[in-house]
Amino acid sequence: MMQLRRYFLACVLVLALPVHAAEKPGKAAIASAHKLATEAGFEVLGMGGNAFDAAVAVSAALSVVEPQSSGIGGGAFFLLHRVSDGRQVMLDAREMAPGATDARQYLDAKGELDRDKSVNGPLAAGIPGEPAALVWMAEHYGKLPLKKSLAPAIRLARNGFAPDARSLMFLGLRKDVIARDPGASALFLPKGTVPVQGWVLKNPDLAKTLEIIADKGHAGFYSGEYATKLVDGVKKIGGNWSLDDLARYQVKEREPIVFQYRGHQVVTAPPPSSGGIALAEMLNILQGYDLSKIRGVERTHLVVEAMRRAYRDRAEYLGDPDFVKMPVAELISPLYAAGLRASIHPKKATPSDSLPGFMAPAQGTDTTHFSIIDADGNLVAATQTVNLPYGAAVVVPGTGFLLNNEMDDFALKAGVPNAYGLVGGDANAPRPYRRPLSSMTPTFVVGPERTLVIGTPGGSRIITMVLEGILAWFDGDAPQKLVDNKRYHHQFLPDVISIEKDTFSLDERKQLQQMGHTLSEGERPWGFMNAVDWNRQSGELRGGSDSRGVSGTALVK
């Protein structure tokens, strides 16, 4: 009887015990490409801000300290999860083609695509979305006024900071183009050449621009005196922006792409990003295999075949959702993936030219990503960009920021390769007021016990990097390990697996070649992934910042 009572008591106790899962992390985690940006985020959390205020601070600070990657003259996707009401949304602050956009402006006298015009100088620049996003996020999701959340970035711009080796390396790559523009060279080539490490970049004009945004919000940048100065300056150096273009620019709230993978909800970027749809296709295909048991070359082969199929679709169907009708529901459906999976031979590569032909993506390589979980469990995954390093390499005097070269993310001439030897189609043709297709893939993976916030720069390789990061997380890798892992990539065309140095052993390479794959090892590593995760069972928060970047910093506190 006693025993029975004890047993009963134990059962009651077990039932009455709270589920171990913590409702809130209690601490915050921020991983970004720069220590000063991560610190800016924590500074704003310390002022009583939430993850969205911290995102404003990190985003703006990156705009100052990583001018090669993103900035006030660029665009961004901010994926948000708000705990209070469960709202999940992506702020689309992608650049917009100006009203005067005409694909012919990128052609030379012979009608050939003139790459110089699409990546260098003012014709390469779309209307910036970054300032609008900072204001929108602060006003609709934050708790603090912009004066507070932009304060760290304003201070960094005014007092200066020492650009890191990565910034200077990219400056070296772009110096000849920067030297053509008086505004950009005054800022970045102070003595007519690339400064040595230790040089302090002070940018009072950018501090003033940020102050105007802090004081006057959206209108302060997109209309009135500031807009007139910007448009006049762009016209003076050969661009075609108008006041009406700036007045039209709006942040769009987009419903994220949401799908299930191994009992977890994946929340990711919808069009005008191609990332979420391609990620859904790849994970849906791979869901049909027990990857926990498939290792080595056999697994790489299946992942590559999933990549190949998703990238084929990505270029054929996707573009700006306000202009292009897309079969999104079909593309992300498990049934569609099952059909694609059925076409994969377990041991033989499918040559890309045996699949219905289309084009591969064409996004630039420099961009930046940061991930945030705050003490309440609000999430932000943000990827922001000016496209190629230092964007269009022009600065309108008095503004302090580089214009983006995002117009090159359009398929500027059907069938003609872009800067990366790639081509695109109608769904992503340049038209007035359209937003160019992107690969930026800020993503959350939310399971019953764990949450991951992940993303990376890296042009067309962004999506496969996010895929590999998620697969590694399911294999048990901590954020620091999964951001540091070696990478491989396939994007349908060219029909090769790109690999970083030492991604595969000699034996693995040989086996992949025997399956019919062609491998191409690049000189440089790629990506700069920043990820954080939260284990609700143990309460642990972790962060990882890619060791490929010199200043990346993940902190938990």
Binding-site residues: 94, 385-387, 409, 438-439, 459
Which of 39/366 has CB closer to ligand GLY? 366
Residue 484 and residue 537 in contact, taking contact as beta carbons nearer than 8 Å: no
Task: State the binding string over 112-151 for ligand GLY (x if CB under 6 A, else -).
Answer: ----------------------------------------
Q: How far is the CB of 321 from ligand GLY (least distance, A)?
A: 15
Residue 488 and residue 504 in contact, taking contact as beta carbons nearer than 8 Å: yes
Contacts with ligand GLY in 91-110 (CB under 6 A)? none
One DSSP character per residue, 426-442 reads GGG---TT----B----
For residue 215, give the amino acid letter: D
Which region, judged by CB under 6 A, interacts with ligand GLY, from 49-57, 197-205, 231-239, 432-440?
Answer: 432-440
Long-range own/partner contacts, residues 239-243 (CB < 8 A, 24 or more apart) = 239/121, 239/122, 239/123, 239/125, 239/403, 240/98, 240/100, 240/101, 240/105, 240/122, 240/123, 241/98, 241/100, 241/122, 241/125, 241/127, 242/98, 242/99, 242/100
Which region, judged by CB under 6 A, interacts with ligand GLY, from 153-161, 434-442, 523-531, 546-554?
Answer: 434-442
Closest listed residue to residue 369, CA positions, set 458, 278, 467, 464: 458
Give the burial string for 465-487 (b: 16+ CB within 10 Å, else e): bbbbbbbbbbeebbbbebbbbeb
Which of 305/409 has CB closer to ligand GLY? 409
Active site residues: 367
Q: Is 367 in the site for ligand GLY (CB under 6 A)?
A: yes
Q: How far is the CB of 462 from ligand GLY (least distance, A)?
A: 6
Structure tokens at 554: 């993940």
Which of 276/459 has CB closer to ligand GLY? 459
Residue 439 and residue 274 in contact, taking contact as beta carbons nearer than 8 Å: yes
Q: Is 39 in the site for ligand GLY (CB under 6 A)?
A: no
Which region, judged by CB under 6 A, interacts with ligand GLY, from 46-54, 59-67, 438-446, 464-472?
Answer: 438-446
Which of 124/146 has CB closer to ligand GLY? 124
Which of 428/511 has CB closer to ligand GLY? 428
For residue 443, give the amino acid letter: T
Angle (deg, nearest 10), helices 151-159 and 51-65: 20
Q: How far is the CB of 214 from ligand GLY (least distance, A)?
A: 27
Q: How far is the CB of 477 from ligand GLY (least distance, A)?
A: 25
Structure tokens at 320: 């700006």
Q: How far is the CB of 438 from ligand GLY (least distance, A)?
A: 3
Task: State the binding string over 204-243 for ligand GLY (x if CB under 6 A, else -).
Answer: ----------------------------------------
Residue 299 CA: distances (Å) to CA of 160, 236, 291, 295, 499: 48, 54, 7, 5, 15
Closest listed residue to residue 162, CA positions, set 202, 191, 194, 206: 202
SS3 189: coil
Q: Which residues share a beta bridge with 369? A: 383
Bridging pattern class, strands 443-446 and 379-387: unpaired
| Element of type H or E holding 513 | helix 506-514
Taking CB under 6 A as the criterion, the residue among 67, 364, 377, 469 binding ligand GLY is 364
Q: How far apart are CA 14 and CA 528, in angstroms?
A: 45
Contacts with ligand GLY in 407-426 (CB under 6 A)? 409
Q: Is 546 in the site for ligand GLY (CB under 6 A)?
A: no
Q: Which residue numbers belong to the known binding site for L-glutamate?
A: 94, 385-387, 409, 438-439, 459
SS3 166: helix
Contacts with ligand GLY in 447-466 (CB under 6 A)? 459
| Element of type H or E holding 183 | helix 182-188
Q: How far is the CB of 152 from ligand GLY (least distance, A)?
A: 25
SS3 534: strand
SS3 90: strand
Which of 78/226 has CB closer to ligand GLY? 78
N-term to C-term CA, the chain: 51
Q: Is 440 in the site for ligand GLY (CB under 6 A)?
A: yes
DSSP state of 4: H
Q: Is 384 in the site for ligand GLY (CB under 6 A)?
A: no
Taking CB under 6 A as the criterion, the residue among 69, 70, 378, 385 binding ligand GLY is 385
Taking CB under 6 A as the criterion, the residue among 32, 384, 439, 545 binding ligand GLY is 439
Q: How far is the CB of 63 from ligand GLY (least distance, A)?
A: 15
Q: How far is the CB of 163 from ligand GLY (least distance, A)?
A: 21
Which region, judged by CB under 6 A, interacts with ligand GLY, from 81-89, 251-259, 418-426, 437-445?
Answer: 437-445
Could you tell me how far CA 406 lies from the centroid of its own chain?
A: 13
Q: Is 405 in the site for ligand GLY (CB under 6 A)?
A: no
Which of 167/363 has CB closer to ligand GLY? 363
Which of 167/300 has CB closer to ligand GLY? 167
Which residues of this chain interact with ligand GLY, rule CB under 6 A? 363-364, 367, 385, 387, 406, 409, 438-440, 459
